[in-house]
Structure 1
């Protein structure tokens, strides 16, 4: 889903928090089966490189219904560890794929999900990685921002993440974080940029809006018919889909690219 919509829904529903979750998360049967499927893909993949592994795992989630506001917690309500593969938004889609890529059983999956979603594995609203570039800027570091290396046309802008143009915050209870965000304008995403992308790269749709880095995220997958953007779509498809990368980029102001570690 688009991250700005997700943030607004979180604020409206007031469903996240500062207190750590207690005990193991409840996992429904459908989610348990899907986790086992992902773990089987991981086991069968052997020694493939990380990008190919992410592609194989994410392929297993194609067709998964999109769900808005999947995570639970706010500045006034306890954070809960959510493990729900019946529906995903664009960010939880990446969370689950990244966690599965490092796991061999369900316990490891949950442990790695926590480490992926939360700074220092602390299940707290204030420690949740709310912004795409948190993956490359806060522990545990999950990716490297390679955007600047892909094009001389890359532009760097200092953003005040979480601060709206009117001075209020998108997410009350979280600080404003100043961060240099580098993006490649959509018009500059040419053949050279595309050639520099690898299967498994995380791609975000840059936004010039104050307080946000991107509005949507997904995974780049190189296919025999060209690169696609694999994402949990909140548009007409309402599910995890493959969208031709060039078609998607044309709908954005630009892209931010993180390469998984």
Structure 2
């Protein structure tokens, strides 16, 4: 690992710690699901911080390992895990993986290139074989709604308030995903799917809020006793583990169920 490329910050220190753990535990020899859960566990107690991606007026690649919102937590864990699986312990690999996940076709090209709706995040990453959307496989049902929350709530998004170009671009983006198929597992059927879930599966909380697909994200956590929980950056204040997935979802305001995607193992895509 080229130490010179790691930023001399708290995030850089955390990256070094994670790479040390990865080597000591020989994570690269383990299944992708184990790698994801092991990395997520190392981030327990990290602070929750909303709005990190929108602090700059210009879209830049935000790479945080010490504070997260719910999506940043999922992205950071997956980006780290992909590098470890390939025994690539460089910081540049981490940031490249982050960009690949966060932006349409993996290209950062302004605010509108970010995958703002998480169902579109899943669809785009599925198309590029970074994750697999397993909602249909799990017997999910269609989420029938028009995604237009951002354009309908312009004042809630700093980059849209005084930027007409961004606003028009977001409207066009919403139109482009109008017919996207989204399948979700209804809230009262989640526990029935526990045997089919794996540690590290990506969970997105589907909502009945008009115009919006998802309100929260996290990762499946398998407890030592085999029960299925959720490890996530909680708005309550930190990265934590909810003991039971279905119980947690049932207490989320406006939740109707979950979208599920599975991180694909990059070792199986190496030719």
The TM-score range, normalised by the shorter chain, is 0.7 to 0.9
Cα RMSD of the aligned pairs, angstroms, is 2.3
TM-score normalised by L of structure 2: 0.77
Cα 1:121–1:183, aligned 2, differ >3 Å: closer, same or farther? closer
Matched, 1:158 2:157: no
From 74, 93, 103, the equivalent of 1:108 is: 93
Q: Select which of 52, 57, 60 maps to 2:42.
A: 60
Summarize the alignment of residues 193-204 of structure 1 with structure 2, pairs less than 5 Å apart: 193-204=193-204
- C-alpha distance in 1 between matches for 2:135 and 2:122: 12
Deviations 1:105-163 (A, max 9, x none): 11111111111211233222111121222233115443121122223xx3203332234
Show structure 1 runs of 5+ residues with no match: 1-24
Q: Secondary structure at the match of 2:22?
A: helix
Name 1:94's counterpart in structure 2.
Answer: 74
Partner Cα separation in structure 1 for residue 73 and residue 32 of structure 2: 17
Task: Extract unaligned runs of 5+ from structure 2.
Answer: 84-88, 158-166, 265-271
Native 8 Å contact 1:161 1:212 kept in 2: yes
Displacement after TM superposition at 1:39 (Å): 2.5
Post-superposition CA distance 1:55-74 (Å, at most 9, x none): 00111100000001011378
Of Structure 1 and Structure 2, the greater helix share is in 2
Aligned to 2:240: 241
Compute the displacement of 1:216 (Å).
Answer: 0.3
Deviations 1:35-70 (Å, cap 9, x if unpaired)? Answer: 122223333312211111100011110000000101
Matches for 1:1-261 after TM superposition, within 5 Å: 27=7, 29-43=9-23, 44-72=26-54, 77-103=57-83, 104-123=89-108, 124-139=110-125, 140-151=128-139, 154-163=140-149, 172=167, 173-174=169-170, 175-176=173-174, 177-178=177-178, 179-190=180-191, 192-225=192-225, 226-235=227-236, 238-244=237-243, 245-251=245-251, 252-261=255-264
Provide TM-score, normalisation by structure 1.
0.79
How many pairs are equivalent?
229
1:73·1:79 contact (CA, 8 Å) conserved in 2? no
